[in-house]
Amino acid sequence: MNDRISDSIAYEFGRSIWTKFRRGVRDYELILPGDRIAVCISGGKDSMLMAQCISRLKKNQEIPFEAEYIIMDPGYTDENLNHILDNTERLGIPAKVFSTHIFESAEKEKKHPCFLCARLRRGWLYKKAQELGCNKIALGHHFDDVIETILMGMLYGSQMQTMMPKLKSENYEGVELIRPLYLVREEDIIAWRDFNGLEFIQCACKVTEKKGEEASKRAEIKALIKQLKQTNPAVEMNIFRSPENVNLRKLISYHDGEKHHHFLDDYM
């Protein structure tokens, strides 16, 4: 582990990153004694910071757990893969690489290549976690991902739901997904990256290169939140907390995953 970079998480970014990381782990019970976690590294800033935080937490021995740091190669160019490996070495992360052909499969999908890519990635990560004897996989989603997902569901999917801090897999028994950066804001991850002079890859798939990031729905949502924040500085936290303050009596209908409920069912 690079002590200078690792220490910056707890000192220069103690309040904005380390405290929020630990609070998320504690409040949502993400890492428990005896866990064996597959820490999934995509090569971007978020997963790299997550791996560094988990590595530091393990070193501090606050919670007795084991970690396997894995890099799934979905079809990176040699340049991108080498860049990821250089960064893990610089950060002192003992990562293991396994290869797939996900980019090749996603490129053949005309309508929803990003959706297919994400689904295939998740499946391979769960499978690899099982092979390594892990009961959890850790992904690098952060606070901004959560609020953007809430709005995307409402505006583009006509649904009200959030990105959960942890989730049990329905297809891979005994494996649970956790998001340790759940409370950490993206702007603070960027500040940590720049403070340490780090450079990470972006998505690196050919589909994204062709379409451009600004064409994505998530980029539209980012722009919307930025605009709303100009007149309402609390808008981000309000969006984040909205799924925690749901009044079922004020909903037309809802479902619990199995049964559908409508307000007319017991309206008197």
CATH code where residue 20 lies? 3.40.50.620
Question: By the 8 A CB rule, do 135 and 32 touch?
Answer: no
Which CA distances in Å does 231 have to 32, 155, 224? 41, 20, 12
Structure-block tokens of residue 223: 């722009």
12 domain-assigned? yes
Q: How far apart are CA 55 and CA 119, in angstroms?
A: 27
In a domain, 226, yes or no: no
pTM of the model: 0.92
* Residue 248 maps to a domain: no
Nearest alpha-carbon partner for 204 in 71, 70, 37, 5: 71
**Spatial separation of the C-alpha atoms in residues 232 and 241, rounded to whole Å:** 15
Classify residue 228: in a domain, yes or no: no
Q: What gap in Å lies between CA 9 and CA 19, rounded to an integer? A: 9
Query: Does residue 210 lie in a domain region?
Result: no
Q: Does residue 165 belong to any structural domain of this protein?
A: yes
Per-residue pLDDT of the chain (268 residues; tens, 9 = 90+): 568 999 999 999 999 999 999 999 999 999 999 999 999 999 999 999 999 999 999 999 889 999 999 999 888 888 999 999 999 999 999 999 998 888 877 777 767 777 778 888 888 899 999 999 999 999 999 999 999 999 999 999 999 999 999 999 988 999 999 999 999 999 999 999 999 999 998 765 655 555 544 457 888 999 999 999 999 999 999 999 999 999 999 999 999 888 999 999 989 7
Contact 85, 95 (CB under 8 A): yes
In a domain, 11, yes or no: yes
Cβ neighbours, 10 Å, residue 265: 8
User: How big is the chain, counted in residues?
Assistant: 268
Give the range of the structural domain holding residue 183, as residue numbers without chain letter.
Answer: 3-146+161-202
Domain total for the chain? 1
Per-residue model confidence (pLDDT) at position 1: 57
Q: Would you tell me how many other CB atoms lie within 10 Å of the CB of residue 153?
A: 15
CB 148 within 8 A of CB 185: no
Cβ–Cβ < 8 Å for 34, 65? yes
* Cα distance from N-terminal residue to C-terminal residue, the chain: 63
**Closest to 97 (Cα-Cα) out of 107, 106, 105, 87:** 87
- Residue 13 in domain: yes
